Structure 1
Amino acid sequence: MTTTTRWATGWNILRAIVAVAVLVAVVAQFVSTASGAAAAGRDVTTTVANFFSFFTILSNVSAAVVLLIAAVRFARRRPAADHPEVDSPALATALAWVSTYMIVTGVVYNLLLRGLPLQPETVGWSNEILHVWGPLFLLLDVLLGSGRRRLPWTAALGAAIFPIVWIVYTLLRAPLITNPTTGAPFWYPYPFLDPSTGGWGSVAVYIVVIALAIVALAVGVVAIGRARGIRGAAASVDSGRRG
């Protein structure tokens, strides 16, 4: 087994470990949130729907799923020692996108939300995994992860689709939901999206800044992948030789 293959094997094992840790963290926080709502007599259905409306939860779950797929795919294909496994186009794109979302999650939380008081139901270690260690690993995966394939620049633009859909969903849903904790006639997952705190002008500025940051980060992720990765044609030839 070559050094490259050993590195790829070890990294994919680490991907699986991190994915499981993230999923355990999500489940732990979900159980705490739902049970806390039930104990306090709050609307559990709304609380659960709100839980899965956080960008943090959605990005972490999607990242964990993609990391598990990458690890399982690597294990099943058993790459030859002289031809290390290369990500498929779909997997490479998914990894680029979830890496972007997780890095954004880490940056936004630690810049804008770190100082806010935590809710009583917040699980401390879970919060750190979802907002710090998970994002850090996805950043390292961009820089060090094995099997990178060079993606076209259009992949960076595709990364903006999910955040745009999430923002539209959030802004349309928020005024229709009664906050189960405060009783307010609206519920926004993050303070910077709440127009009652700073007005719609402030919300618009945050949306534009975050959208630009997502696209810029996605471009950076794709650029690093293109610098580190293997051209699609070469990867296809290698896969054909092994098949």
Structure 2
Amino acid sequence: MKKLTFHPLTWWIFSLATAFSVARVNSPTFAIAMVGVMSVIVFLQRESAPWGRSFNWSLKIALWILVVRALIGVLIGVPIPGTVLFRIPILPLPHWMPGIRIGGDVTRERLVSSLSEGVIICAIIVILSAAASLTSPHRLLRVLPVYLYEFGVSVVIATSVLPQIVSAVSRIRTAQQLRGQKTRGLKSFKRIAIPLLEESLARSLDLAASMDARGYGISKKRSRYRPIKWAGIDSVVALCALAVVVVS
């Protein structure tokens, strides 16, 4: 199936509107539904590029955040009365921390509240990462206005870190597998971390050298070899994003 071509800002508009709706509705069911919608869009429209593979990692990161948020909500926080599921030994805290405790009765309401907040936080992260997976950072940078260009460069570099790390880890693991080394488990972390750090530093130096060679920051004038136009399909997606915000 042929993939449609969208404007670089299209999916960012849709993702920001969807994330705003998730935060506004504040419902884990709605958040999970929006994550499902964005997942389908990503798997149908993403490119076979480093930024396209970053969505899978964002799902794993979101899952870890959900687990950590649930544990923190259960172990630390303000007691919520309700149906007691189990009890954890209470760790005494200083007198200047009233109302907060570590341990104690874990109620169903407390667990549900922690999971609900975690689902909403993770949903927003996944939805925004979907936009990064669907949009080439280079094409996104080309459509930014001049007065936002320097800020856009910083944002694009920041948002492209995860895709580059994913691509680098994949290359390092492939090289280690060809050498007969194990690439799974905690023991392989050191063998991956050191080459990854070295490659990241080399990439940073190459980026700085290329920006300097192109005269970055010398002139405010910009040239576009191929202008990126806003098409009708982009308007349809933007209207769908507006409809999601209005309905929420």
TM-score by length of 1: 0.25
Indicate the structure with greater strand content. Answer: 2
Indicate the structure with greater helix content. Answer: 1
TM-score by length of 2: 0.24
